[in-house]
Amino acid sequence: MASSLNAAERPRAAFLLAGMGILPRLLLICGALLLLLLAAMVYAASVGSTSIPYRDVAESLLQYVGLHHSLDAGSATYRIVTVVRLPGLMVAALVGAALACAGAVMQGLFRNPLADPGIIGISAGASFSVVLVMTQAAAGDLWLLTSGPLSNALWRVPLAAFVGAWLAALLVYGLSLQQGRTNLAALLLAGVALNSVLGALTSVLLLRTSDAGAARSVLSWVVGSLEGRGWAYFRIAVWPILISAVLLLLYSRELNLLTIGEESAQSLGVNVSRVRLILLALSSLLTASAVSVAGTIAFVGLVVPHILRLIIGPDHRVLLPASLIGGAAFLVFADALARSIIAPETLPVGTVTALVGGPFFVFLLWRNRRRIAML
């Protein structure tokens, strides 16, 4: 009787697919998200200054990958889809995957649903470092990249973004620690303060630069834009993002243990300090790689993992791969909206994600108000 009563009183998992095992959940959600991503790619490639029927887009994409051969490769439709729009969509998918995966890791690492690379200042750290490299206003010869054989090195921006993101992550993490645990209120306040300070410093760099062309490029980049992003940008970011994502997937078990408590994780053989730093470094590299090619795009890492967690639960063995695909689909769709809302003009995609993520963040803040008040 007691055992049956305890079983009846045991709390049930509060997510949609709670009755399914890990592998069925993984296959179902990833298959559904892949279909959603393909649909988003077709829709995004069809909208813009020139509208293209969905069927023509699908046939162009199939022919591009070698599965269809009925179109003229020299036709305007095929070239618009594969040469003009497809590279930007691939960059959008890559950036969205990176930001969503980084957000899922940080929410698990800090054990709260409000952690996000943009909210806690990591994106701002990467952004400030990139602006510093672009303008060369405050660093002078410290970068040693204004002349000589490394003056046009493509790795300057990604490297600067990673250094800035890593330093910002360490600073926010250190400020939020209270007796070895992360204080949610301190984490949010540290993120707000760091975003404000780095935003002000970025403005100073822009005001001090004498290169008007560089200033325009930086302004377009700071607001989070995918306009003009081609295969060169994709090649810069693809390997750091893929390698970081694979390594994070390998640490999904340790991340699961950290979410139930650091003492429990330590008792189960997890080197908490080492795993913390590794997860922080890899998520910072993901964020930095995304920021280096697309600028500051907020709230992707907040919205996507939270919605997926309501469907598939908090197990990072499922959540991380789902966040990669879901983040790609989300940002591709957001980019399509950015190009269609005020067509033929184009909105920065960061504006669209902010319009979606801002109210969502307020909702999460309201939902967790009691927990924050207790800290």
Residue 91 sits in a domain of what CATH number? 1.10.3470.10
Task: Answer for the pair 129, 166: CB distance below 8 angstroms, yes or no.
Answer: no
Entry field: residues in the chain: 375
Confidence of residue 316 (pLDDT cuts 50, 70, 90): very high
Q: What pLDDT score does 13 carry? A: 54
Q: What pLDDT score does 177 carry? A: 74
Confidence of residue 182 (pLDDT cuts 50, 70, 90): low
Is the pLDDT assigned to residue 9 strictly greater than 80? no
**CA 70 distance to own-chain centroid:** 37
pLDDT tens-digit readout, 20-77: 888 999 999 999 999 999 999 999 999 877 888 998 898 888 888 887 777 777 788 8
Q: Is residue 13 part of a domain?
A: no
Range name among 4-13, 111-120, 279-288, 361-370 with the lowest pLDDT average: 4-13
Q: What pLDDT score does 211 carry? A: 65
User: 12: which DSSP letter?
Assistant: P
Q: What is the pTM of this model?
A: 0.85
Q: Residue 236 belongs to what domain range?
A: 29-373
Q: What's the angle, vertex CA 80, arms to CA 77 and CA 85, rounded to 5?
A: 140
Measured distance CA(225)–CA(98) in Å, rounded:
16
**CA 227 distance to own-chain centroid:** 18
Domains identified in the chain, total number: 1
Mean pLDDT confidence for 294-309: 88
Q: Does residue 344 have a cis bond before it (omega within 30 degrees)?
A: yes
Q: Is residue 5 part of a domain?
A: no
Mean pLDDT confidence for 73-89: 87
Range name among 24-28, 205-209, 212-216, 314-318 with the lowest pLDDT average: 212-216
| Strands 177-178 vs 181-182: parallel, antiparallel or unpaired | antiparallel
Cα dist. 103→156, 278, 279, 324, 362 in Å? Answer: 25, 15, 11, 10, 17
182 - beta bridge partners? 177
Question: Which residue shows structure tokens 């303060």?
Answer: 193
What is the crossing angle of helices 156-176 and 184-208, to 10°?
Answer: 140
Confidence of residue 251 (pLDDT cuts 50, 70, 90): very high
Q: Is residue 324 part of a domain?
A: yes
User: 317: which DSSP letter?
Assistant: H
Confidence of residue 143 (pLDDT cuts 50, 70, 90): very low
Measured distance CA(284)–CA(117) in Å, rounded:
8
Q: How many CA atoms lie within 13 A of 277 on its CB side?
A: 3
Helix (H, G, I), strand (E, B) or coil at 177: strand
Q: What pLDDT score does 46 carry? A: 92
Q: Rounded to a whole number, what is the distance in angstroms from the first to the last CA of the chain?
A: 39
Measured distance CA(339)–CA(345) in Å, rounded:
7
Mean pLDDT confidence for 265-284: 85
Closest CA to 113 of 375, 299, 368, 374: 368
Q: What pLDDT score does 68 carry? A: 73
Mean pLDDT confidence for 170-198: 78
Range name among 204-208, 241-245, 294-298, 316-320 with the lowest pLDDT average: 204-208
pLDDT higher for 241 or 148? 241
Q: What are phi and psi of 178, to 5 degrees?
A: -140, 105
Is the pLDDT assigned to residue 243 strictly greater than 80? yes
Q: What pLDDT score does 39 carry? A: 95
Is the pLDDT assigned to residue 91 strictly greater than 50? yes
Cα dist. 258→38, 151, 254, 276, 357 in Å? Answer: 34, 43, 6, 9, 26
Is the pLDDT assigned to residue 142 strictly greater than 50? no
Closest CA to 40 of 336, 343, 342: 336
Is the pLDDT assigned to residue 322 strictly greater than 90? yes
Q: Report, in angstroms and rounded to the nearest whole number, the Rg of the chain calculated over CA atoms.
A: 22
Is the pLDDT assigned to residue 145 strictly greater than 50? no
Q: Is residue 15 part of a domain?
A: no
